[in-house]
Structures are given as C-alpha cells and as structure tokens.
Amino acid sequence: MKKLEPVEVQQALENAPGWKLTNGKLEREWTFPDFVQAVEFVRQVADIAEAAGHHPDIDIRYNKVKLGLVTHDVDGITANDAAMAAKLSREL
C-alpha cells in the first residue's frame, strides 16, 4: 500500500462530501441531538469498518463524533482511506 500523492488526495476529497484534510488525515465531524444517537452512529461506523477491514480513528465528545482516516503503516493517506471516506459518505 502506498501513500496517495497530493493530487490524488484532492480527488478523494471530491468523492467524499464533508471530509477535509487535517494534519495529514481525512477527517469529518458529525453532530447529533444527544450522546445516545452519537454512540448509535459509531455502532453503524463500526459495522461498515469491520466489513471493510479498515478502521477509522473515532473521537466522541458528547453529541459530536469525529472520524479520522489515515494508514498508520505508511504514515499517510492511502487508497483504502479514500475508499472508506467515500463509503461512509454514501452510507451514513
């Protein structure tokens, strides 16, 4: 697995609405009415991630959930990260 080039990262962002590049990773934040709905959202993310075999970094702050995608083995964004961001954008 290789790191995407900057132009490829920009193309990935175009295919993943709501995601942005922050500190070398793809990130997106969602806000929910309460903590329970935020945790239910994380459960849905977990099912998608487990099926794909590619797991995002997850940060829950009461009713806010932030997901981060980066491949730690290559210290950068790969095609797997781009595909997962696009998939999460489509399915959630």
Domains along the sequence of the chain with CATH: 6-91 (3.30.1360.20)
Average pLDDT on 7-33 reads: 97
Helix intervals (H) in 1-92: 6-14, 35-52, 79-91
Q: Would you state the pLDDT for residue 75?
A: 93
Q: What is the pTM of this model?
A: 0.94
Q: Distances in Å between the alpha carbon of 16 and those of 29, 61, 63, 71, 80?
A: 13, 23, 22, 17, 13
Q: What is the pLDDT of residue 37?
A: 98
Q: What local confidence, expressed as pLDDT, does residue 2 receive?
A: 96
Output the DSSP codes for 5-21: PHHHHHHHHHTSTT-EE
